[in-house]
């Protein structure tokens, strides 16, 4: 048997291993919160990673941090009670949205005193912002929930889009008058409505790349219902828009599409909206 004695190099090696083992024992038993554990054993680490995945990010509803949300709250409360709740709008989400959205942030300076009154008001480019009750009524009829994807035709000031965006997941809105689209997009962004997307264009064609939609709302009176909008309505979806009949009177029409794609049409109430322009006026 080879019983060779250990030389100085082996002694050094043994000493090194001993020191290493000792220091490992020391770290393990004395340090209470070793930094490397804090990182690798974070139970939320995976969650956080998932949340930052772009397709998984939940739509961000407005956080109401803009100062306008805290202004004229009592006037809005009065508007909701006396013009909307009193006329039988009952959906709690709609009432909450009408209370939340600062309507005065959507209207030109000269109409500020009457912005919470019971009527429509002029906005830029000869267009109008609807009466608060009509906005609430149309919103309620759509039966929106936090998963709804909405299409609006006729952005105007952006007010109706903001009301829908308080409830729905995302709102896509189209405005044919480009300066209005630009102003509304800027306003909505400033107010924190990052779940509203504005496009300048003719709403007749809808927004096929973003559809189909759970709900479609038209806020300009069409001479007939644009067929592309019907196509872009999801089965189970609802669409409300003003349509001008042969007599010249306008009615709000509610279209529902059932799970099999069958359509139902209901005349809801007489209204007065600005006309829908563009393609819808060209065809017979
Ligand atoms: N929803 C708006 C009010 C809209 S008034 C609000 O809350 O303020 C109707 C708007 O529809 C006008 O701004 C008008 O320019 C726009 N409009 C008319 N025809 C259109 C069309 N074919 N496509 C998109 N927008 C249209």
Instruction: Tell me how many helices (H) and strands (E) the chain has.
Output: 10, 9
Give a yes or no: residue 54 inside a domain.
no
Give the model's pLDDT for residue 72.
98
Tokens representing residue 173 in the block: 């809105």
For residue 158, give the 3-state DSSP assignment: coil
Buried b (16+ CB within 10 A) or exposed e, 31-58: eeeeeeeeeeeeeeeeeeeeeeeeeeee
Considering the domain boundaries, does residue 3 fall inside one? no
Contacts of 113 (CB under 8 A, 6+ apart): none
For residue 30, what pLDDT is reported?
41
For residue 43, being part of any structural domain is answered with: no
Which CATH number covers residue 234?
3.40.50.150
Looking at residue 10, its pLDDT comes to 73
**Which has the closest alpha carbon to 144: 135, 153, 133?**
135
What's residue 284's pLDDT? Answer: 58
Is residue 12 included in any domain, yes or no?
no
Please count the structural domains in the chain. Answer: 1
Of 225, 224, 243, 245, nearest in space to 233 by CA: 225
- Banded model confidence at residue 47, pLDDT cuts 50, 70, 90: very low
- Look at residue 146 and tell me if it is in a domain: yes
User: Does residue 152 contact residue 207 with C-beta atoms inside 8 Å?
Assistant: no
| Ligand 1 atom index nearest CA of 163 | 7
95 alpha carbon to ligand 1 midpoint, in Å?
Answer: 23
The gap from C-alpha 36 to its chain's centroid, in whole angstroms, comes to 41
For the segment 94-123, what is each residue's pLDDT rounded down to a tens digit?
999 999 999 999 999 999 999 999 999 999
pLDDT grade, residue 51 (50/70/90)? very low
For residues 84 and 190, give the distance between their C-alpha atoms in angstroms, rounded to a whole number: 27
Active-site residue set: 130
Q: Is 106 within a domain?
A: yes
Q: Whole-number mean pLDDT of the chain?
A: 87
* 223 in contact with ligand 1, CB cutoff 6 A: no
Asked whether residue 108 is domain-assigned, the answer is yes
Residue 207: the pLDDT is 98
Q: Give φ, ψ of 30 to 5 degrees.
A: -115, -35
User: Does residue 23 lie in a domain region?
Assistant: no
Return the higher-pLDDT residue of 130 and 5. 130
The pLDDT assigned to 277 comes to: 97
Print the domain residue range for 192.
62-281
Task: Give CA–CA dist 251/115, Å, rounded.
Answer: 25
With a 6 Å cutoff on the Cβ, whether 277 touches ligand 1 is yes
Of ligand 1's atoms, which has the minimum distance to the CA of residue 203?
A: 23
Q: Is 200 in the pocket of ligand 1 (CB under 6 A)?
A: no
Q: E strands within the chain? A: 121-122, 128-129, 149-153, 170-175, 196-200, 213-218, 233-244, 250-257, 263-271
Cβ(202) to ligand 1 under 6 A? yes
Instruction: Report how far residue 24's alpha carbon sits from residue 137's, in angstroms, rounded to the nearest whole number.
Output: 71
Rounded mean pLDDT, 137-155: 98
């Amino acid at each position: 048997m080879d019983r060779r004695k250990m030389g100085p190099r082996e002694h050094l090696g043994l000493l090194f291993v001993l020191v290493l083992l000792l220091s490992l024992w020391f770290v393990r038993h004395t340090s209470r919160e070793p930094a490397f554990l804090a990182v690798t054993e974070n139970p939320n680490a995976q969650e956080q990673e998932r949340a930052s995945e772009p397709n998984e990010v939940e739509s961000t509803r407005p956080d109401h941090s803009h100062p306008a949300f805290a202004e004229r709250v009592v006037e809005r409360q009065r508007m909701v009670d006396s013009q909307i709740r009193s006329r039988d709008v009952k959906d709690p989400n709609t009432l909450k949205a009408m209370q939340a959205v600062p309507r005065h942030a959507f209207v030109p300076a000269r109409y500020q005193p009457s912005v919470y009154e019971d009527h429509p008001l002029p906005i830029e480019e000869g267009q109008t912002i609807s009466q608060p009750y009509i906005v609430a009524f149309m919103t309620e009829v759509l039966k929106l929930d936090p998963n709804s994807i909405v299409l609006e035709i006729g952005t105007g000031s952006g007010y109706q889009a903001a009301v829908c965006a308080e409830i729905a997941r995302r709102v896509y809105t189209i405005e044919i008058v480009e300066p209005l689209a630009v102003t509304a997009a800027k306003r909505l962004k400033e107010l924190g409505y990052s779940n509203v997307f504005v496009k300048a264009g003719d709403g007749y064609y809808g927004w096929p790349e973003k559809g189909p939609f759970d709900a479609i709302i038209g806020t300009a009176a069409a001479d007939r219902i644009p067929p592309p909008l019907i196509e872009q309505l999801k089965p189970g979806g609802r669409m409300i828009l003003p349509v001008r009949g042969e007599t010249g009177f306008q009615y709000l029409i509610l279209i529902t599409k059932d799970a099999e794609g069958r359509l139902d049409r209901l005349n809801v109430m007489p209204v007065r909206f600005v006309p829908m322009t563009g393609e819808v006026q060209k065809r017979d």
